[in-house]
Structure 1
Amino acid sequence: MAKISSQDLGSQPIGKILIKQAVPASIGILVMSLNILVDTIFVGHWIGSTAIAAINVVLPVSFFIAALGMAIGIGGSSIISRALGAETKAKALKTFGNQISLTLLFTVTLVVVGLIYSDSIIVSFGGKGAIFNPAKIYYTIVLYGVPFLALSMMGNTVIRAEGKPKFAMYAMMIPSVSNLLLDYIFINVLDFGMEGAAWATSLSYILCFIYIWWFFLSKHSELKIDWSHFILKTSIVSEIGSLGFVTLARQAVVSITYLFMNNILFDLGGETSVTAYAIVGRMLMFAMFPVLGVTQGFLPIAGFNYGAQNYERVRQSINIAIKYAAILSTVIFILLMLFPEAITRMFTTDLRVIEQTPNDMRWVFAATPIIAVQLIGAAYFQSIGKAIPALLLTLTRQGFFFIPLILILPKFYGELGVWISFPISDVLSTLVTAYFLNKEVRSTLLVPNQTM
């Protein structure tokens, strides 16, 4: 793969540079998603289907804390991309140093709180009945590795902001590959059960952290910071916070969604329905990897060119990113509609789960072909530093539509009401995002007499 510098984001053809950015991001997300997928398969076959549900209870808690790192990373990376585009490198360096300080401060604090109140948190997120004990084991160990994951997720977004997607891809591959190897050793060979699964996950986070910080200390990174950059600056912290809050709010809503879904499904269908949701959730992470890769590749391109006031390239990047993402999401839709039972059988031999999950999966992915507009639209506002519309559009799907729907529809349609909430919220959020994105493009990026 050809070497990419930050200046290439403003000079190479949009389609070409988007592919250069999106392919490594997609591969990284694919490998990370495969890790989660295969990890779930290993746990399901080597420990049992209840262990799948237990991990699903823990994920929203650990991911929310780790998402602080991603939020700080994406918020700061938007500043860094625009600063590099405007040739104000001093601001980029100060921003990066502040990102590290903020990530350490918040994640370590939350991990301590999470360990103190572990029992009540696990129960709140659906860790009830037979699910509680394995969830407690997994939760306690994984939380020790979460600060390393948060720092890694923060650093990964900065690597992409520098225009180095290949290194970002490697960073995402390292924990995935190492987790699978450690899973095999700790669970299958040493028979450590849930403890083995948890330690494999935490150690993989640490290995990822080591690689990312090697990158920033090496000659490959343009961002060479010193101790003065770690001192928090109010204006930069405020800007990181306003933009990063978009990502944090999205993950907070995801965690709340898990809380509601696990509890609602446990009440409606017990451990079987919670396990079905865990499998469908893994497919949501895995199947969408190329679309998410396009979104990640789009962010630094839009941010850099917006900072350089090259609005024509920004507009082109929006159109091309939506086109690529729509094609990929349609392919994903077709595959999942055709093979849901075969996919389910990869995770478990539990006949009750195999019978229920395929139909649930079809409902969840029913509106997949149209979500490209929603993802790219929300990402655009975040990349250019417009925090409020980015926040509102990011929360539209799950916060404004999905959560109210899963609280209302099951009262009339039972468990079916939970699953049909997915496509309904996808359609509604896409329509809202399309309206505001088109309005923004016409008012900001188009010259007179042009149409989107």
Structure 2
Amino acid sequence: MGMNGAVAIIDALFLGLYVGPEALGAVTLMFPVFMLLVALSTLVSSGMASQVARYLGAGDIDRAQAVFVGAHGLALLVCGILVGSFALVGAKMAQLFAGGAGPLADMGQTYISIMILFSPIMFTLSLNSDTMRSEGHLGLMAGVSLLVSLLNILFNYVLIAKLELGVAGSAYGTVLAQLVAFACLLVYRFRGKTALRPRAFLNHGLHSHWKQTLALGIPQSLNFLGVSLVSAAVLASLQLVESTTYADTVSAYGVITRITTFVILPLLGLSMAMQSIVGNNYGAEEWHRSNRGLGLAIAVAFIYCLLVEVGLILFAERIGSLFVDDQGVIGEIVRIMPVMMSLFVVGGPLLLLSYYFQAIGKAAQAALLGLTKPYLFAMPLVFLLPKMFGEAGIWWAGPTAELCLLTLAAVTLVNMKRRAGFRWGLFRQA
């Protein structure tokens, strides 16, 4: 998780230092579309992984192979729809996000067109990485992830800093890194110890198990779709308030987005680790261990988020100057980042609660705490607050959404304490 966040940071550094703030702004404009790619990729891969893990565990190799093959067919269909849709409306979409034709729209279109055209590589790599997790090859999966991250940094340096390909270099760097990693996975599929070999494509149809894959993949993909929609809402709201510093503000938002990605991904890693530990102990009725695991995770998340929040607020100007030398963009970073990060210390523990309820089988509570922030709170607030407070209201939407989620979490925990008898609404009693 941390390596993926580091790639986002280094990519932004290369673009800001070697191309300019306009390149950062252009890539930021396409961030909602990129997150849509991630959401759709997660839809297929997570839905497939859940089935493959169960079938392999039950020794049903034939069904596991059918799901594996069918997921590739579904991924190709989704990618085909994406490529066709972008060919029809891609230019107009880029101009819409950029507030009209111009360099920002052109660079944004260049970047995202490459990502969409080569999306089958991204989808296939995601499928095979999640399959390795289902097969129990966690070390190999981590190695592939590390390889992609390191190659991405290397290719970005060569293509952006040395060959001066600009935003196209950023996109091609990502694609090339994924392509090399996929080639390594292909060698593993042919020669490694696995039941899911390429010859399975000769025995099963590409349309296998689509319904089940989609049904199981929707919950996780909705989280990434929420990120995509909130980002699009921020960009749309900036245009609605007719910001006079739109280009600088978008570039600053791009830097802040990369930074928040970097600091949130380790938090997601902590959440997943907590989920595994708590889930196993809760299932074994070792309540004291599951309680201790949750308590430790919340404490670590709180301390981590507090340190991150204080650091980003105090050193906003210095951090901004690492990415760009444009004083207008740096000034926007100094103005916006302290507001956006003002309640990060609350967001971390709240994120853990959603994963915790999922781990102990409380699907309703997990969905309530996991999905309401982007869909019910953040998106409406991005449009409502600027009507009362002007452009500054856009940046206060995130902290306000955290407060709303905190209130909802408190109500949920009180209800859990009353109905299930959990201490503090969280800890199962022996």
Q: Which residue is equivalent to 1:423?
A: 399
Match of 1:17 in 2: none
Question: Would the aligned equivalents of 1:125 and 1:258 in 2 still touch at CA under 8 Å?
Answer: no
- Which of 5, 11, 17 is residue 45 of structure 1 equivalent to? 17
| Post-superposition offset of 1:352 | 0.9
Distance 1:79 1:130 in 2: 45
Q: Distance in 1 between matches of 2:134 and 2:66?
A: 15
Write out per-residue CA displacement over residues 201-248 of structure 1, whole angstroms, 9 at most, x where no aligned residue. Answer: 2222222333344445554557568344655555xx444323321222
Q: Distance in 1 between matches of 2:429 and 2:404?
A: 24
CA-based RMSD of the aligned residues comes to 3.4
Corresponding residue number in structure 1 for 2:248: 272
The 10-residue stretch of structure 1 (415-424 or 220-229) with the greater mean CA deviation from structure 2: 220-229
Q: CA deviation at 1:33?
A: 1.7
Question: In the TM superposition, what whole-angstrom CA distance separates every residue of 1:293-335 from its partner, at most 9, and x where no partner exists?
Answer: 11233455566677x6657466665444434333322332232
In the alignment, the residues of structure 2 paired with residue 378 and residue 75 of structure 1 have an alpha-carbon distance, to the nearest angstrom, of 19
In structure 2, the partner of 1:144 is: 117
The residue identity in structure 2 corresponding to 1:272 is D
The aligned amino acid for 1:171 is V
Distance 1:255 1:222, change over 3 A: same
Which residue identity lines up with residue 184 of structure 2 in the other structure? Answer: Y
Work out which of the residue numbers 273, 284, 288 in structure 2 matches 1:297: 273
- Give the deviation of 1:30 after TM superposition: 1.9
Q: Does 1:352 align with 2:328?
A: yes
Correspondence for 2:343: 367
Q: Unmatched 5+ residue regions in structure 1? A: 1-28
Q: CA deviation at 1:106?
A: 1.7
Rounded Cα–Cα distance in structure 2 between residues aligned with 1:287 and 1:167: 24
Letter in 2 for 1:32: N
CA shift, 1:133, in A, is 1.3
Pairing of 1:374-385 with structure 2 (within 5 A): 374-380=350-356
Distance in 2 between residues matched to 1:213 and 1:261, nearest whole Å: 40
Contact 1:410-1:418 within 8 A present in 2 as well: yes
Residues in 1 aligned to 2:60 and 2:422: alpha-carbon distance in whole angstroms:
29
Output the CA distance in 2 between the equivalents of 1:93 and 1:441: 44
1:329-371 residue CA offsets vs partner (Å, 9 max, x unmatched): 2332232122111111111001011112123111111111222
What TM-score does the superposition give when structure 2 sets the normalisation length? 0.84
CA–CA distance in structure 1, aligned partners of residues 286 and 64 of structure 2: 21
Equivalent pair of 2:298/2:349 in contact (CA under 8 Å): yes
User: Which residue identity does 1:132 align to in structure 2?
Assistant: A
Alignment of 1:404-443 (within 5 A): 404-433=380-409, 435-436=411-412
For the structure 1 residues 284 and 451, does the alpha-carbon distance in structure 2 shift closer, same or farther, using more than 3 Å as the test? same
Map residues 44-443 of structure 1 onto 2, 5 A cutoff.
44-80=16-52, 87=58, 90=61, 94-126=66-98, 128=100, 129-217=102-190, 219=192, 221=194, 226-227=200-201, 228=203, 232-234=207-209, 237-266=210-239, 267-268=242-243, 269-300=245-276, 312=287, 317-380=293-356, 390-433=366-409, 435-436=411-412
| Equivalent AA in structure 2 for residue 194 of structure 1 | V
CA distance, structure 1, for counterparts of residue 156 and residue 192 of structure 2? 34
| Seq. identity, % | 25
- Aligned length in residues: 419
Note the alpha carbon deviations across 1:264-315, whole angstroms, 9 max, x for none: 2242231111111111111111122321111233455566677x66574666
How far, CA to CA, are the matches of 1:424 and 1:334 in structure 2? Answer: 18
Which has the bigger relative contact order, CA under 8 A and spacing at least 6?
Answer: 1
Query: Structure 1's 216 and 426: CA in aligned 2 closer, same or farther, altered over 3 A?
Result: farther
* C-alpha distance in structure 1 between counterparts of 2:362 and 2:47, whole Å: 11
**Secondary structure class of the residue paired with 1:180:** helix
Equivalent pair of 1:246/1:390 in contact (CA under 8 Å): no
The separation in 2 between residues aligned to 1:149 and 1:72, in whole angstroms, is 12
**In structure 1, C-alpha distance between the alignment counterparts of 2:141 and 2:176, rounded to whole Å:** 19
Unaligned runs of 5+ residues in structure 2 are none
